[in-house]
Structure 1
Amino acid sequence: MLIGLTIRDIVLIDRLSLSFSGGLGVLTGETGAGKSILLDSLGLALGRRSEAKLVRPGADRASITAEFDLPDDHAVLALLDENDLPKEERLILRRTVSADGRSKAFVNDEPVGVGLLKQIGERLVEVQGQFDQHGLLDPTTHIDLLDAYGGLMGKREAVAALHADWAAARRALDKARATAVAARKEEDFLRFAADELDKLAPQPGEEEELSERRSLLQNAERLTEAITAAVDFLTGNDGADEGLRQAQRALDRMADKMGDLLNAPVASLDRAAVEIEEAVGELNRIGADLDADSSALESIEERLFALRDIARKHGVAVDDLPQLREDFAQRLSLIDAGEETLAKLETAAKQAEKAFADAAAALSAQRQDAATRLDAAVNAELPPLKLERARFTTEVEQLEPSRWTALGSDRVGFTVTTNPGLPGGPLDKVASGGELSRFLLAIKVALAEVGTVPTLVFDEVDSGVGGATAAAVGERLSRLADRLQVLVVTHSPQVAARGKAHWRVSKAAGNDGRMATSIDSLDPHHRREELARMLSGAEVTDEARAAADRLIEGSRL
């Protein structure tokens, strides 16, 4: 709820700080005293459009700070998380407006766009009768309010899940149809290309393997010469092999005279002889392989160039040819077995549509029932509010399948008629200003259990009524305030007497001769005087004070 509002240099307000509590708070004062300025200031803090004319003459800028205390599960906190904004013990919204009309917005001292500030503000305070249309005057919110009133949000979530399934099935079917159409258009090409790739049968990593083999064979002559030379060095008359044998014979002649002293070098020479023999054998094998593959260079190059040519033709890398071959095969399978595949997808889409349609129809029936109950609840509130000839209707319209959404198959709208026999219409198009506020009050009372905005503001909801009707307005505002924080600007003493807190707005000339608006929180004595003034006018009489006492006492019953 709103717990504080600080205003600096807004029109006639110089400096002002207000504290708020729960329940019903009332603001009273003479016409023109500046009550609307207070609501304009609150609207700026909530993201309303700013104007340079709101800045007090002579000031460089105006500033408004609104402070809120929220429960741990309030939707605004999730919005703060989504936008990486800090969560503090209190939520503080601040707006500044410079003399040239430029404004800045802050949430918990972090700069934000005015659009985000407005999103946050709409979740905190709903003002009836003063600001741009939103809340109950926004038809897009009516289906949410009806579903919440009827306890249907869980069923609506199930319908939304079925709608998502249906949409996914339609997308799969549409994609398969588009793929099949495209495939048929290029069927000849696909069959030729697939056949060409089938004959070539490219293998993963084949290009690298062929390139290495080709490079080897291109250097086969030089490699053979190197191998021949190496073998000669190892096995020729003066080669390493002959030297080792001579060394071994020389040491063998002395072995019986040296005991174990020559064992280690003799063993090393033996191992060297074995290693040389193995090396010579491996070199001879490589040489033989080169001789055997000397005629394979041409076929290797032919294979490599064929792979590169077909890869270039299809605009892919050689290593991607096996996957391309598989893609072509799949696209051809869609053509060959397309009718069966499409039939299965069509069946799945129809089943998903039916599941959604059945669930949406059940939800629609429950909405109709909830609408009947809501209409009865709202219409029961209208006669005491001097709207006995008016009717409130919740219209649940069945939509064409092409207009079905995740919300179901319905369009929901609140309509009113102020006189029997006349067609109904949107709230703000049919009702006059005073009637509209009372309609909205009646609806709010009926929907009090399902509202999500913690603070409601009514601007002159009692306009044009008095006596018993004004008392009925006050009684309903008081009932609302049992569940929500309600602030009301009023000229009715019957409404003002219901307030848990009472502020008086007044205007007077300051020391500099300029008019300034001030707001005073009234104690019981001054509250009685204000109610007496509202009852009697400029001259407060004892009779008016006695009537004020009766109103205050009656509001406690």
Structure 2
Amino acid sequence: MLCQLSVTNYAIVRFLELDFSAGMTTITGETGAGKSIAIDALGLCLGNRADTASVRPGADKAEVSARFSLADVPLAKRWLEDNDLELDNECILRRTVTADGRSRGYINGNPVPVAQLKLLGALLIGIHGQHAHHALLRSDQQLQLLDSYAGHNLLIEAAAKSYHNLRHAQQQLAELAQSAQERHARRQLLSYQVEELNDFALGEHEYSELENEHKRLANSTALAENLQASLMLLSDDDDANLESMLNKVLGITEELVSYDDTLGSVNNMLNEALIQVQESRSELQHYADNLEMDPEYFAELESRLSKAMQLSRKHHVAPEELYQHHQSLVVELTSLDSNDELLEQLQAEVGLYLAQYQQAAQKLSSSRQRHAKALDKLVTESIRELNMPKAKFTIEVNFDAEVVSSHGSDALDFKVSTNPGLPLDSLSKVASGGELSRIGLGIQVITSQKVATPTLIFDEVDVGISGPTAAVVGRMLRQLGSSTQVICVTHLPQVAGSGHQQMFVAKQSKAGMTETSMVPLSREQRIEELARLLGGDTITSNTLANARELLAE
């Protein structure tokens, strides 16, 4: 629950430090005194939007901190543990806003994003504003109220999970299907190209080999002539050839070595030269013996080389890159075929997730219908207490299998009949402003009893209510305060007198500056304040007596 609120330089507040107790606390004050200012300041700690107007004129920054007891708030304690922000059984939320609009949030002294203040704040406090009953006219708000009352967190989570799975699969399927026509045209082209290249079946290094072979055969005459000339020079010419000349020189050097063995190295080199000449001659002779002039083979070779060049031009690649291009096309074609398999897989997934969603949505709808009947009865009893003795309230749950959303397939319609003989109809068509306010208050009180939030704030939710109805409202809120901390900003003496404790808001102007203060009231001070609410500025013995009666009740 909320234990303490400290406010510094916020709007027209210079400094406030308020201690809150369990039960029901009421806040009253003159019109325009700023009864809701503490609630607005608390909203900063809960992650509400901050701006420069939040800072008191002349101050550098505004600062608000709120201290909570977590003794009976397991969800908040678990959240703090999960985010490494635990601090015993207490929690302190703090927010600062500078005069230039910069804002910072803290949880237990640790800097945090404002979004985290909002997440934790939702587990600590629920705020019902004075216009909350107008939200009852919206189907989404009606759905939220029913789900809060029924505790549908797990069922909604299951529906939302299957919904998001379904939407993700549908999106993937749509993207894949959208390009199906383009893929079909591309597959046809690739199939033709790959088939053509498969038929040609060019090897990885074949084009270079074809070029070399073609060059060899195209120059076979020149090759044969030069081979013959080389063989003649090496050994075949009877008049002069390298082999015979080297043999002759070797004969001379061998004799020289017999005279001087230091010339042995020269003799060795000439021997090696003779061996090299003989081996070269053997290699050339072997090549010449195998050199064939086959016109038919040459024609085939030329044709394949020409086809390779033709295909390379057709595919806009260099001839030596044709093989790699062929492999790339094969990979792309295989990928397109696998996309077809993915398309079938996604279609199956969409069907599966749709079935899962429909099951979850139907289960949620069935639970909503059961809890709607229970809430019908409770709200009807509540609004009859609130000076609508013949009223009847019902919740219509309309399931539409065609509707797919993260919160299920239901649309709600809150219906009411305010007088006997009148048919049930939607709130917006039947209820007056005062009736809508009472219905809204009754629903808020009932649903709040089912919510785990330890502190509930009602900010002038009793607008449009007066007389005996106000006493019933006060009794309802006090009863709610027996199990939950309730803080209620009110202008009604019957509601104010129902609180276990009461605070008074006043506004003073000094030296051209306005300042708001808030103080707890003693029993005698409460009597005077209730008398003021009952009779206005003139307090009489009668209004004081009435105030004592209210407080005694």
Structure 1 distance, partners of 2:110, 2:187, is 60
Instruction: Note the C-alpha offset of 1:445.
Output: 2.2
Counterpart residue identity of residue 106, structure 1 = R
Contact 1:29 1:35 survives alignment (8 Å)? yes
> Which residue is equivalent to 2:182?
182
Alignment of 1:136-215 (within 5 A): 139-164=139-164, 166-167=166-167, 170=170, 174=174, 177-178=177-178, 180-199=180-199
CA contact (8 A) 1:503 1:519 kept: yes
Please tell me whether the aligned partners of residues 80 and 86 of structure 2 are also in contact (alpha carbons under 8 angstroms).
Answer: no
Secondary structure at the aligned position of 1:22 is classed as coil
Q: CA deviation at 1:465?
A: 4.0
Q: Deviations over 1:412-437 (max 9, x none)?
A: 354667667488556799552x5554
Structure 1 residues 62 and 528, CA gap change in structure 2 (3 angstroms): farther
Contact 2:126–2:456 (Cα < 8 Å) also in 1: yes
Show the counterpart of 2:475: 475
- Cα deviation, residue 164, structure 1: 5.0
**Cα deviation code 1:151-190 (max 9, x no counterpart):** 5443444444544565466457546645653344345412
Given that 2:5 and 2:66 are in contact with CA atoms closer than 8 Å, whether structure 1 keeps it comes out as yes
The answer to whether the Cα contact below 8 Å between 1:67 and 1:91 also exists between their aligned partners in 2 is yes
Summarize the Cα distance change of 1:390–1:331 in structure 2 as closer, same or farther, 3 Å threshold: same
C-alpha contact (below 8 Å) 2:50/2:103 kept by paired residues: no
| Amino acid in structure 2 at the alignment position of 1:74 | A
Q: Which moved more, 1:319-328 or 1:375-384?
A: 319-328
Contact 1:441–1:477 at 8 Å: present in 2 too? no
In 1: Cα distance, 2:199 partner to 2:552 partner: 101
Give 1:365 deviation, angstroms.
3.2
Using a 3 Å threshold, how does the CA distance of structure 1 residues 175 and 216 change in structure 2: closer, same or farther? same
Aligned to 1:34: 34
Matched residue, 2:459:
459
| Counterpart position of 1:238 | none
SS at match of 1:35: coil
1:443 alignment partner in structure 2: 443
Q: Which amino acid aligns with 1:408?
A: G
Amino acid of the structure 1 residue aligned with 2:515: A
**1:354/1:541 CA distance change after superposition, 3 Å:** same
- Match of 2:330, SS state, is helix
Larger Rg over CA atoms: 2
Q: What's the CA shift for 1:381?
A: 0.8
Deviation at 1:68, TM superposition (A): 4.2
Is 1:459–1:490's contact at 8 Å kept on the other side of the alignment? yes
Q: Give the deviation of 1:383 after TM superposition.
A: 1.6
2:13 is matched with which residue?
13
Match of 2:409 in 1: 409
Written as runs of structure 1 = structure 2, the 5 A alignment for 1:90-489 is: 90-96=91-97, 98=99, 102-108=100-106, 124-130=124-130, 139-164=139-164, 166-167=166-167, 170=170, 174=174, 177-178=177-178, 180-199=180-199, 322=327, 324-329=329-334, 331=336, 349=350, 353-354=354-355, 356-388=357-389, 390-399=391-400, 401=402, 403-414=403-414, 421=422, 424-425=425-426, 431-432=432-433, 435-451=435-451, 453-489=453-489
1:127 maps to a residue whose letter is I
Q: Which amino acid aligns with 1:369?
A: R
Residues 510-521 of structure 1 correspond to what in structure 2 (within 5 A)? 510=510, 512=511, 515-521=514-520
* TM-aligned CA deviation for residue 486 of structure 1: 1.6
What's the CA shift string for 1:538-557, capped at 9, x where partnerless? 56666666655554443xxx
Partners of 2:416 and 2:430 within 8 A in 1: no
**Paired residue secondary structure (2:66):** strand
Question: Match for 2:457: what amino acid?
Answer: V
2:75 counterpart residue number: 73
What residue in structure 1 maps to residue 247 of structure 2?
none
Distance 1:159 1:523 in 2: 52
1:343 Cα deviation after fit: 8.1
Could you tell me how far 1:384 is from its partner in structure 2? 1.6
CA contact (8 A) 1:33 1:517 kept: yes
Q: Distance in 2 between matches of 1:495 and 1:47?
A: 29
**4-13 vs 482-491, greater mean Cα deviation:** 4-13
Alpha-carbon distance between aligned partners in 2 of 1:341 and 1:463, rounded to the nearest angstrom: 60
Partner deviation per Cα, 1:341-393 (whole Å, 9 max, x = no partner): 98897677556545543553343233222222222222211122224455544
Offset at residue 35 of structure 1 (A): 1.1
- Give me the whole-angstrom Cα distance separating, in 2, the residues matched to 1:508 and 1:428: 44
Q: 1:503 to 1:210 in 2, by over 3 A?
A: farther
Other structure's SS at 1:447 match = helix
Offset at residue 409 of structure 1 (A): 1.9
Code of the aligned partner of 1:96: V
User: Cα distance, 1:487 vs. partner?
Assistant: 1.0
Structure 2 residue identity aligned to 1:65:
V
Report the identity percentage: 31
Report if aligned partners of 1:76, 1:123 keep a CA contact under 8 Å in 2: no
Secondary structure class of the residue paired with 1:394:
strand
Give the CA deviation at 1:473.
0.9
Question: TM-score by structure 1 length?
Answer: 0.65
TM-superposed deviation, 1:64: 4.1
Per the normalisation by structure 2, the TM-score is 0.66
Go from structure 1 to structure 2 and tell me whether the alpha carbon gap of 1:173 and 1:45 turns closer, same or farther (over 3 Å shift).
closer
SS at the partner of 1:34?
coil
Mapped contact 2:134–2:436 kept (Cα < 8 A): no
Q: 1:115 to 1:361 in 2, by over 3 A?
A: closer
Q: Displacement of 1:489 after TM fit? A: 1.4
Q: 1:199 to 1:211 in 2, by over 3 A?
A: closer
Q: CA RMSD in A?
A: 5.6
1:228 is matched with which residue? none
Counterpart-to-counterpart distance in 2, 1:37 and 1:299:
94
Tell whether the 8 Å contact from 2:149 to 2:448 is kept in structure 1 after alignment: no
The 1:538–1:368 alpha-carbon spacing in structure 2 relative to 1, beyond 3 Å, is: same
Give the match for residue 522 of structure 2: 523
Q: Distance in 1 between matches of 2:41 and 2:342?
A: 63
Question: Distance in 2 between the 1:484 and 1:424 partners?
Answer: 33
Contact 2:127 2:458 (C-alpha < 8 Å) held by counterparts: yes
Decide which moves more: 180-189 or 342-351.
Answer: 342-351
Counterpart amino acid of 2:504? R
| 2:102 counterpart SS class | strand
Residue 16 of structure 1 aligns to a residue whose secondary structure is strand
Aligned-partner Cα distance in 2 for 1:427–1:78: 42
The residue number in structure 2 matching 1:505 is 505
CA distance in 2, matches of 1:214, 1:483: 94
In 2, Cα distance between the equivalents of 1:166 and 1:105? 39
Aligned match of 1:243: none
Supply the distance in 2 between the matched residues of 1:300 and 1:21 (Cα, whole angstroms).
Answer: 97
Return 5+ residue gaps in structure 1 as ranges. 218-279
The answer to whether the Cα contact below 8 Å between 1:105 and 1:111 also exists between their aligned partners in 2 is no
CA distance in 1, matches of 2:456, 2:152: 24
Q: Is the 8 A contact 2:156 2:408 kept in 1?
A: yes
| Structure-2 change in CA distance of 1:196 and 1:459 (3 Å) | same
